[in-house]
Amino acid sequence: MYKVDEIRKLFPMLNPQKTMQGKPLVFLDNSSTTFKPTCVIDALDKYYREETSNSHRGDYDLCYNMDQELLEARKAVANFVNCDVNEVVFTSGTTMSINLVAWCYGMKFLKEGDEILLSEAEHASNLLPWYKVASLKGAKLSFVPLDKEGRVTLENVKKALNKNTKIVSLAHIGNVMGFMIDVKGIAKAAHEVGAIMVVDGAQSVPHIKTNFKDWDIDFLAFSSHKMCGPTGVGALIGKYELLEKMDPLFSGGGMNITFDTNGDVEYLEAPVKFESGTLNLAGIMGFKAAINFIDELGIDNIHLHERELREYAINELEKLDNVIMYNKNAEGSMITFNVKGVFAQDEATLLNSKGIAVRSGQHCAKILNGFLETPATVRMSIALYTNKGDIDAFVEALRNGGDILDAYFND
């Protein structure tokens, strides 16, 4: 374990003098994005101040150095999730990564009558690309039934699989309910019927140890900004033999070997053929710094810290009679709740007045509302730098919130 209050000193946004609404800032919207440590900010600054160059486009030292830095960043990502270096495609984040699979794999290999298996708990980024591709290819969308708690279980996945299932695309940890799927078991079941397994790792990769090879999944998508790295950069991990079969979505400089006036084009091998144009090199340098930062802390230590804080928060919330929790038993770092008689956005606005940042609404998982039987919820989410003081301030605000709302509406 690490000393969280020492770690907090490495994050400029957690400066004790930082306020919101005139109150000390308590940031509990970490499932949306995370704060950045100084080492990540320094990596961005270093690129712009000392290393600015393109990659794979120049025969001079600056460009060669950036080529090497890019390779080292690819290696860092590969080591972090246990895949081969040539299976790492740099993207703008989870959304682009899943879109690449949908358009570059789905559009090429799906046929009319094929099925794509999803769940009602998925984020829009893991639904809308499949909706579009299915409509264009004449494929069918199927949804794994959630159990009574809201989980996607291996048993229910097996029941939903059939000979027509060609793609299974699920979040490892959902961004609303926070339940973890048996990704290895589901991948095995998918492969047995001839389907591929796509995993949205946006809410899992930053928090738990990821093992692409051992899980035997086919694609994994995740974002840098949810793991203390920069916005606008992420990765798609794909089995190399599948990446090789796919055509690139974007075309341009840096991803081809040659082309001519006849329209003939020869592409580079994966992963580079998916990385047309100038990459977000500064972001990738920050991404690598974030991975190194997490590695130094230890992903298992981070997971343990977040689990202990979540259990503490659950215990404190259970002492309140005005809070409805929807996912007490979840493995993820978030707690999704409502306050009795209070609309979710009103509750989030009240918490904002106390300096507490949470998320309210549908959390980009709009079809989950039917299962939850509520139009919106509030989500608080924990990160590696969250401490007990954050939880105490949050719980205290909920404890006193009813009186404040009563006074507001009575006035």
Task: Just list the catalytic residues.
Answer: 364
Question: Residue 372 has which token pair?
Answer: 């939850």
CA 160 to chain centroid, in Å, comes to 25
Q: Give 177's contacts (C-beta < 8 A, 6+ positions apart).
A: 121, 150, 151, 326, 327, 330, 332, 336, 368
Cα–Cα dist 43/355, whole Å: 30
C-alpha closest to that of 190 among 161, 227, 160, 219: 161
Which backbone phi and psi does 253 adopt, to 5 degrees?
-70, 150
Cα–Cα dist 158/185, whole Å: 10
Cis peptide preceding 24, ω within 30 of 0? no
Could you tell me the end-to-end alpha-carbon distance of the chain, in angstroms, rounded to an integer?
Answer: 49
Amino acid letter, 51: E
CA atoms within 13 A on the CB side of 94: 30
CB distance 368 to 176 below 8 Å: yes
Alpha carbon of 275 to those of 96, 208, 384: distances in Å?
Answer: 12, 27, 31
